[in-house]
Structure 1
Amino acid sequence: MLANILVGLVALLHVYFLVLEMFLWDKPFGRRTFGLTPEFASASKALAANQGLYNGFLAAGLVWGLCLGAAGGPVKLFFLACVVVAGVFGAATVNKKIFFVQAVPALAALLAMYL
């Protein structure tokens, strides 16, 4: 049960990332969240929307795994692993904070799946 709650929270986080990157990137809240200038936000809006879409796919995969019930373990494992890889890569290439915001919750969900 705890694992499914954590998987659900990771999915919700990625829906939040989708909204931030696809719809709020160049708005005041999005610019403040990511520390962007209006010019950079405008110039990178399409790239951020693409990134947001991928976050939506991660959320959809996690929800799919949850909807499968007991048979969804491998699906959840795969998508949580994808989230961890994305979080590690983001931390290595963009900002260390990404590891804690993205990878750590997914690692907690993975750990809970195996307890």
Structure 2
Amino acid sequence: MKKAALTLTGMIALLHYYIAWFEIFAWTSRGPKVFSDFPAELFEQTIPLAANQGIYNAFLAVGLTWALIIKDAKWQKNVATYFLMFVAVAGVFGALTVTTKILFIQAIPALIALAFLWVPGSSTRQN
């Protein structure tokens, strides 16, 4: 993976660790500030739903982190691709169903990382 692809993958992993923390632990405190268009009473009622979403974001973050530490170049690329595709699909779905901002925060960075990952001639890691 080129340095750019590794860097983007790491940044996307960090973003998903943050999203997981936000949805699991800070939904009622930070949620109303972040999603100011939503009714305030919504947040208390949706704690279990947000926490469930947070767990899925944690899985994405862990998978992307795993991709960063794999030593075999082929498998590093495969695992990174797998999890970046999940992030991209989730971002597109979020953009269609929640807010278009998700497209720019989640989907497009994942697609850019995938593009760097799959640029012809790019190698994942020198062995």
Question: Unmatched 5+ residue regions in structure 2?
Answer: 120-127
Match of 1:43 in 2: 45
> RMSD over aligned Cα, in angstroms?
1.1
Match of 2:92 in 1: 88
Q: Secondary structure at the match of 1:95?
A: coil
Q: Which AA in structure 1 matches 2:67?
A: G
Q: Secondary structure at the match of 1:26?
A: helix
Query: What are the within-5 Å matches in structure 2 for residues 1-115 of structure 1?
Result: 1-27=3-29, 29-35=30-36, 36-69=38-71, 70=73, 71-115=75-119
Structure 1 Cα separation of the partners of residues 42 and 33 of structure 2: 12
Structure 1 Cα separation of the partners of residues 53 and 22 of structure 2: 10
Which of the two has greater helix per residue?
A: 1
Structure 2 Cα separation of the partners of residues 40 and 30 of structure 1: 10
Q: Secondary structure at the match of 1:60?
A: helix
Q: Please give the TM-score of this superposition, normalised by the length of structure 2.
A: 0.85
% identical aligned pairs: 46
Name segments (4+ residues, structure 1) moved above 4 Å. none
Deviation at 1:54, TM superposition (A): 0.2
Q: Please give the TM-score of this superposition, normalised by the length of structure 1.
A: 0.94
